[in-house]
Amino acid sequence: MSGELLRQSQDLRALVVAVRLAMQQRADVTTHSLSAWEEWALGEADKLDPIMSGQIISHLYPPVPPAEEMQCCLLWLIEAAIRVTRLFPTCPNCSSG
């Protein structure tokens, strides 16, 4: 998803350059209207860009499960530890037990 958004933002920025070059010599397009459109289009490109928008930050860290899910997993781990302790009251790898 982020890669596609990055490509779209780059395409939009390339379009801005192409339009600017094509419209510079036209008498029916004012510098002000072209600049306003460029500003808007580049702002839209920045919104799409996962780096500029900050969206990429969410992909740098693993998702945090909801608290209820974490509590359930923690209880399961505690119960598993209790079962192992009952099976092996002393450590089978330690000479001291």
Whether 27 and 9 have beta carbons less than 8 Å apart is answered as no
pLDDT at 13: 97
Distance of CA 76 to the CA centre of its chain: 31
The string of pLDDT tens digits covering residues 9-53 is 999 999 999 999 999 888 898 999 999 999 999 999 999 999 999
Tokens for 60, please give them: 């740098």
Q: Rounded CA gap, 46 and 86, in Å?
A: 59
In whole angstroms, how far apart are CA 62 and each of 10, 12, 58?
27, 30, 8
Whether the model pTM is above 0.85: no
Residue ranges covered by each domain of the chain: 2-87
- Split at pLDDT 50, 70, 90, the class of 88 is confident
